[in-house]
């Protein structure tokens, strides 16, 4: 079920594209629907988006599973999107991810018991110059070290 | 277009500018390896297997997506090509399990073949391979997705040809997975083609799983007889059994695709219900006997019941729509030689005085070129899948499609308009169309149109037809039993005439064109099937008839055939209790794939085929049975040695002495509830009804009586009850005052209203 409010937001995007290309709005529509479902997308909500835009469910699912922006499992209030692509990996992201997992007591893909934080491995976020790095919300945190991570995570409320 | 010259491997070749390199090399017989490219699908250029060296280009180019231009020099065999192909091959095999010994595709696998020819025997990859979990995607297709190389042929097939995108690529990078979304799996009526297009063993035939290796089987080309297309197919056989069916190529007929119905119906051949021995009924007891005894008994029965009493017009012959040209022809010839013209195949028609003639005068290929189509009373996607495929192609090219149906169906292309009205009202809508068409060409309206008010819908349908240069009107099966069915057909003929439209008659299917051509219809002194059933005939010869499925007036037919005084000879492929009940002799006959014969498709092509396998047990091809029966009856002119002599004779003396109703009568405007009774697509003949896997599919399970709430109330049924033995579905998709039944079972009534 897509709420009327979400539909309005989606319609605004649909209006930007030619009439027979409603599906062009799929990325934004998925984002909008995800936002109103505790930041994750169920298969049903992907199908709802597809139906709303008049495209096959699988085509919307292709988009939803291709991009890291979409979550397919419940996530915490804050999602730490940890880059594990080549530059970050060469600069030690693997160890740092383990460190973060140990600190939080969860594995990548899981949510802390208090529902506050979840960790997700993502591909290159275009900040290789500051590798290793992660993103929380709209904020990039670069040149990470174990200490720096502790400090950032402790500050999350 | 002027041709240009390019050089491939030192050889000058002429080709059309802009053509993709791979189609030129294919035409010239130069082999370029490929996985994602398929001549009938869009170009994905994703596998990179087809890399070749183009002089002047710094990097090797994919042949499947490189358009040629004047003077191009291409090397397909030099070091640069070979080494890039080898490198791509190595990458493609990184995650492939190389489990050929336990893979069904082994021996007919493009990956295997190309790897042998272009690959290397060592790989630099020593890490672990990925494994992909499989989902059950339905009863027809077996998946082993760990073997998938992501060529996306199956995805493109769904999106482009089947018209419903069911498979897709989810995830990315080495998490990419080809799968259907959610749990429905793959349900398209053309889904089996994915098996053919998949270059590896990721998608294979489920019914055929672990049966045999491809090289153990013989392949014979033959013709599918379930619809009006006569798709070209290859039956792969082993030790006298059909083990698998794959599509054949014929651009004028089925291109390279076939419907699931044509692909999987062979399973019915080995059903335990096959009839294997001739039987005669003596004092109410069935006895299995040899052919001689059975045929003697049949001849004796005919002799004592009709011939001795000079009552040859007391013989009735009927045949199923799926019979071959030869079978139709010989059976009608026997009847006519004996002296009876009581001949008919139109068992499912309620009122045979209410039929009219409509020619099909457009070919399958031509359908792709029309600019407008009007479909009346048809769900072409399920009823004639390959014809629907042509219409879909046309629609993708911009053809507009109007529909007049009694239920909303799931078309896989855009409709310009969809008019959902009960069969009763179709005539008045069409009358409106005709009236509007005639007005626009200033032809005076005939009397019957004088009082017709032209609705907005009719006017717009008329306008579309008027404004198009090349339109077609397609008539389907749903109106054959409407109260004014002849009027509907005649109106269509008139509309077509005045708008210069072609017509395509899909109102009767399988091999019924052959029945018409061979004169398997009542002669001027003969009775049609419904008249026969009322006349207490003394003898019948029935070819492959299962009354509870085939007759419209099933109860009446069963009663009539059960009459104690008549003598009934039944030729059947499958056992059936009702047939045993009324018959005196039952002769086991060959089914599809087991007999030679001829099918006539909507193009008018007479496509002959040989038997792929020998019929099981004592069963024999029906045409041979008729020949021997005729000899025993001492009828002249049955000295055929093989079936081709019969087709030759047919083409020299085409009967067509049918009486048709040419009336247009718009006075019938009853408010009765209309019933459209359609056997579901996978239940239209005995072989299909015995094919296990097809019956498990979503289409195979279609067994519903659709109606809206007010009709349900009038009929006193509800969503959890049955109507005419079929579970009721209440939906607004059906026109008011109308019930649409898709039945996969026989009922006591067989669609009687
Ligand atoms: S399943 Fe077969 S056809 Fe589909 S993408 Fe994989 S290899 Fe290609
Ligand atoms: S690899 Fe981590 S930001 Fe680019
Ligand atoms: S066949 Fe050319 S890239 Fe796949």
Chain B residue with CA closest to A50: the answer is B181
Share of chain B above pLDDT 90, in %: 86
Domain locations in chain A as residue ranges: 4-66, 78-154
Give the chain A residue whose CA is nearest to the CA of B167: A58
- Residue ranges lining ligand 2, Cβ < 6 Å: A 83, 85-88, 124-128, 131, 133
The CA distances from residue A140 to A80, A83, A131, B201, in Å, are 10, 11, 11, 45
**Model pLDDT for residues B273-308, shown as the tens digit of each residue:** 999 999 999 999 999 999 999 999 999 999 999 988
- To the nearest 5 percent, what fractions of chain B are helix, strand and coil? 35, 20, 45
Q: What is the pLDDT confidence band of residue B242, given thresholds at 50, 70 and 90?
A: very high
How confident is the model over A57-79, as pLDDT tens digits? 999 999 999 998 899 999 999 99
d(CA B268, CA B245): 13
pLDDT at B505: 96
- Ranges of H-type helices in B198-346: 260-264, 291-302, 325-338
Residue B619 confidence (pLDDT) above 50: yes
Residue among B110, B161, B192, B203 whose CB has most ligand 1 atoms within 8 A, to mutate = B203
Q: Which atom, in ligand 3's list, is nearest to the CA of B47?
A: 4
Chain A residues interacting with chain B (CB cutoff of 8 angstroms): 43, 46-47, 56-59, 61-62, 65-66, 123
pLDDT greater than 90 at residue B244: yes
- State the average pLDDT for chain B: 93
pLDDT at B310: 84
Of A46, A58, A123, the CB nearest to B167: A58
- Residue B2: the pLDDT is 79
**B573-599 per-residue burial string, b: 16 or more CB within 10 A, e: under 16:** bbbbebbeebbbbbbbbbbbbbbbbbb
Residue B652 pLDDT > 50: yes
Domain A78-154 has CATH 3.40.30.10: yes
Render pLDDT for B576-615 as a digit per residue (tens, 0 to 9).
Answer: 999 999 999 999 999 999 999 999 999 999 999 999 999 9
Q: Looking at residues B107-119, what average pLDDT do you find?
A: 95
Question: Ligand 1 centre and the CA of A34: distance in Å?
Answer: 30
d(CA B284, CA B80): 81
Contact B164 A66 (CB under 8 A): no
Q: Which residues of B touch A72 (CB under 8 A)?
A: none
Residues of chain B that touch chain A, judged by Cβ-Cβ distance less than 8 Å: 159, 164-173, 180-182
Nearest CA in chain A to B168: A58
Residue with structure tokens 């097939």?
A: B157
Distances (CA, A) of B433 to B618, B671, B744: 56, 22, 35
Asked whether residue B202 carries a pLDDT value surpassing 80, the answer given is yes
B388 within 8 A of B482, measured Cβ to Cβ: no
Which of B164, B171, B173 is the closest to A56 by Cβ?
B164
Residue B33 Cα, ligand 3 centroid: separation in angstroms?
A: 8
pLDDT level of residue B33 (50, 70, 90 thresholds): very high
Asked if residue B208 has pLDDT above 90, the reply is: yes
Option in A46, A57, A62 nearest B169 (CB)? A62
Chain A residue numbers with beta carbons less than 8 Å from the beta carbon of B159 are 56
Say which of A47, A59, A123 has its CB closest to residue B182: A47
Distance CA B483, CA B583 (A): 33
User: Which atom, in ligand 3's list, is nearest to the CA of B33?
Assistant: 1
**A44: distance to nearest CA of chain B, Å?**
8
CB neighbourhood size of A23 (10 A): 18
3 state DSSP class of B223? strand
Q: Which pLDDT score, from 0 to 100, does residue B57 have?
A: 94
Do residues B703 and B508 touch, judged by C-beta distance below 8 A?
no
Q: Token digits for A155?
A: 């500050």
For the segment A106-117, the average pLDDT, to the nearest whole number, is 94
Which of A22, A62, A122 to substitute to test the interface with B, most B CBs within 10 Å? A62
Q: How far is B369 from chain A (nearest CA, A)?
A: 23
Please state the separation of Cα A102 from the chain's center in Å. 21
- The reply to whether residue B165 touches residue A58, judged by beta carbons under 8 angstroms, is yes
- Class of residue B344 by CB neighbours under 10 A (exposed 0-12, middle 13-18, buried 19+): buried
CB-CB under 8 Å, A62 with B164 = no
Determine which helix (DSSP H) or strand (DSSP E) holds A47, and give its type and residue range: helix A43-53
In tens, the pLDDT along B492-516 reads 999 999 999 999 999 998 999 999 9
Q: What is the rounded distance in angstroms from the CA atom of residue B323 to the CA atom of residue B512?
A: 8
Cβ separation A61–B164 shorter than 8 A? no
Going by alpha carbons, the residue nearest to atom 2 of ligand 1 is B198
pLDDT value of residue B670: 73
pLDDT digits (tens, 9 = 90+) for B518-553: 999 999 899 999 999 999 999 999 999 999 999 999
Considering every ligand atom, which ligand is closest to the CA of B43? 3
If you write DSSP's letter for every residue of B466-484 in order, what string do you get?
Answer: HH-SSEEEEE-GGGTTSTT
**Residue B163 DSSP class:** S
**Ligand nearest, relative to CA of residue A85:** 2
Chain A residue with Cα closest to B183: A43
- List b or e across B33-46, with b for residues whose CB sees 16 or more CB atoms inside 10 angstroms: bbbbbbeebeebbb
> Rounded to an integer, what distance in angstroms lies between the CA atom of residue A85 and that of residue A73?
22
Nearest CA, atom 3, ligand 1: B198
Tokens describing residue A109: 């893909």
Q: Are B383 and B558 in contact (CB under 8 A)?
A: no
Q: Is B163 left (phi over 0), alpha (psi -120 to 50) or beta?
A: left
Number of Cβ within a 10 Å radius of residue B145: 17
Task: Give the residue-averaged pLDDT of A128-155.
Answer: 96
Mean pLDDT is lowest, of A90-99, B198-207, B324-333, B654-663, for B654-663
Q: How far apart are CA B411 and CA B276, in angstroms?
A: 42
Give residue A30 CA to ligand 2 midpoint distance, Å: 25
Residues B44-60 have pLDDT tens digits of 999 999 999 999 999 99
Go through chain B and tell me how many residues it has: 753
Cα B135 from Cα B183, distance rounded (Å): 8
Select from B487, B409, B413 the least CA-distant residue to B164. Answer: B413
Mean pLDDT, residues B315-338 taken together: 96
Task: Output the pLDDT for position B661.
Answer: 75
- How do residues B427-463 score in pLDDT, each as one tens digit? 999 999 999 999 998 899 999 999 889 999 999 999 9
CA of A80 from ligand 2 middle (Å) equals 14
* Nearest chain A alpha carbon to B174: A66
Interface contact B168-A47, CB threshold 8 A: no
Structure tokens at B476: 């389907």
In the predicted model, is pLDDT for residue B753 greater than 50? no
| DSSP at B734 | B
Question: Cα separation of B555 and B41, whole Å?
Answer: 49
Judge whether A136 and A123 are in contact, CB under 8 Å. no
The interface predicted TM-score (ipTM) is 0.88
Among all bound ligands, the one having the nearest atom to the CA of B95 is 1
- CB B154 near ligand 1, within 6 Å: yes
pLDDT of residue B752: 52
The string of pLDDT tens digits covering residues B342-381 is: 999 999 999 998 889 899 999 999 999 999 999 999 999 9
Can you tell me whether residue B529 is helix, strand or coil?
helix
Show the tokens assigned to B96.
């492939």
Q: pLDDT tens digits for B370-409? A: 999 999 999 999 999 999 999 999 999 999 999 999 999 9
């Amino acid at each position: 079920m897509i709420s009327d409010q979400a539909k309005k937001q989606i319609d605004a995007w649909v209006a930007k594209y030619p009439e027979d290309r409603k599906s062009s709005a799929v990325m934004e529509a998925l984002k909008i629907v995800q936002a109103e479902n505790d930041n994750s997308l169920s298969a049903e909500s992907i199908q709802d988006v597809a139906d709303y835009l008049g495209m096959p469910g699988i085509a919307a699912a292709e988009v939803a599973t291709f991009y890291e922006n979409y979550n397919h499992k419940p996530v915490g209030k804050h999602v730490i999107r940890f880059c594990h692509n080549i530059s970050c990996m060469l600069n030690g992201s693997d160890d740092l991810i383990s460190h973060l997992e140990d600190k939080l007591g969860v594995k990548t893909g899981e949510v802390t018991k208090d529902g506050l934080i979840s960790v997700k491995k993502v591909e290159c976020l275009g900040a290789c110059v500051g590798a290793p790095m992660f993103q929380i919300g709209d904020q990039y945190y670069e040149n990470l070290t174990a200490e720096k991570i502790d400090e950032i995570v402790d500050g999350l409320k | 277009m002027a041709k240009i010259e390019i050089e491939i491997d030192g050889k000058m070749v002429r080709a059309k500018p802009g053509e993709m390199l791979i189609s030129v090399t294919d035409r010239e017989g130069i082999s370029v390896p490929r996985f994602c490219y398929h001549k009938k699908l869009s170009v994905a250029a994703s596998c990179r297997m087809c890399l070749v060296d183009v002089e002047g280009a710094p990097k090797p180019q994919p042949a499947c997506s490189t358009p040629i231009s004047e003077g191009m020099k291409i090397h397909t065999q030099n070091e640069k090509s070979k080494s890039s192909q080898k490198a791509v091959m190595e990458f493609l095999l990184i995650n492939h399990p190389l489990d050929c010994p336990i893979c069904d595709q082994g021996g007919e696998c493009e990956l295997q073949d190309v790897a042998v020819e272009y690959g290397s025997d060592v790989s630099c990859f020593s890490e672990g391979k990925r494994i992909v979990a499989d989902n059950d995607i339905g009863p027809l297709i077996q998946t082993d997705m760990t073997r998938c190389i992501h060529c996306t042929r199956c995805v493109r097939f769904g999106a482009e040809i089947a018209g419903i995108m069911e498979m897709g690529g989810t995830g990315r990078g080495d998490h990419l997975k080809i799968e259907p979304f959610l749990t429905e799996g793959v349900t398209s009526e053309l889904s089996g083609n994915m098996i053919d297009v998949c270059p590896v063993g990721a998608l294979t035939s489920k019914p055929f799983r672990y049966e045999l290796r491809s090289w153990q089987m013989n392949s014979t080309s033959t013709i599918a007889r379930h619809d009006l297309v006569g798709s070209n197919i290859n039956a792969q056989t082993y030790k006298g059994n059909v083990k698998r069916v794959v599509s054949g190529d014929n651009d004028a007929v089925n291109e390279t695709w076939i419907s699931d119905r044509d692909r999987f119906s062979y399973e019915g051949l080995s059903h335990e219900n096959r009839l294997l021995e001739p039987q005669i009924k003596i004092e109410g007891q069935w006895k299995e006997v040899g052919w001689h005894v059975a045929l003697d008994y049949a001849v004796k029965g005919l002799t004592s019941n009709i011939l001795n009493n000079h009552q040859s017009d007391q013989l009735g012959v009927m045949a199923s729509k799926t019979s071959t040209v030869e079978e139709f022809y010989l059976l009608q010839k026997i009847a006519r030689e004996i002296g009876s013209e009581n001949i008919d195949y139109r068992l499912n028609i309620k009122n045979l005085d209410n039929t009219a003639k409509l020619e099909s005068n457009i070919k399958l290929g031509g359908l792709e070129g029309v600019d407008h189509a009007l479909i009346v009373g048809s769900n072409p996607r399920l009823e004639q899948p390959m014809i629907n495929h042509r219409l879909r192609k046309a629609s993708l090219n911009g053809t507009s499609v109007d529909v007049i149906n009694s239920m909303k169906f799931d078309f896989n292309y855009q409709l310009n308009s969809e008019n959902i009205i009960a069969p009763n009202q179709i005539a008045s809508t069409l009358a409106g169309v005709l009236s509007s068409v005639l007005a626009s060409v200033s032809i005076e309206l005939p009397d019957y149109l004088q009082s017709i008010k032209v609705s907005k819908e009719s006017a717009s349908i008329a306008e579309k037809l008027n404004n198009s240069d090349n339109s077609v009107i397609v008539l389907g099966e749903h109106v054959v039993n409407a109260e004014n069915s002849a009027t509907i057909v005649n109106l269509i003929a008139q509309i077509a005439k005045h708008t210069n439209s072609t017509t395509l008659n899909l109102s009767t299917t399988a091999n019924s064109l052959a029945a018409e051509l061979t004169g398997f219809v009542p002669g001027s002194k003969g009775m049609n099937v419904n008249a026969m059933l009322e006349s207490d005939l003394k003898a019948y010869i029935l070819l492959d008839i299962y009354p509870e499925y085939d007759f419209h007036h099933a109860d009446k037919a069963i009663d009539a055939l059960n009459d104690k005084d008549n003598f009934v000879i039944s030729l059947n492929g499958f056992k059936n209790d009702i047939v045993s009940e009324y018959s005196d002799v039952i002769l086991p006959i060959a089914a599809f794939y087991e007999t030679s014969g001829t099918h006539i498709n909507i193009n008018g092509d007479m496509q002959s085929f040989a038997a792929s396998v020998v019929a099981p047990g004592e069963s024999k091809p029906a045409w041979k049975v008729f020949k021997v029966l005729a000899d025993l009856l001492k009828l002249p002119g049955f000295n055929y040695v093989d079936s081709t002599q019969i087709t030759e004779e047919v083409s020299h003396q085409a009967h067509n002495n049918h009486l048709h109703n040419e009336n247009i009568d718009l006075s019938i405007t009853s408010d009765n509830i209309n019933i459209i009774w359609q056997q579901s697509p996978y239940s239209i003949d005995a072989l299909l009804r015995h094919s296990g896997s097809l019956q498990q599919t979503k289409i195979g399970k279609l067994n519903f009586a659709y109606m809206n709430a007010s009709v349900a109330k009038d009929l006193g049924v509800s969503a959890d009850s049955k109507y005419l033995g079929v579970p009721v579905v209440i939906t607004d998709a059906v026109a008011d005052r109308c019930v649409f039944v898709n039945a996969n079972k026989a009922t006591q009534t067989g669609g009687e209203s």
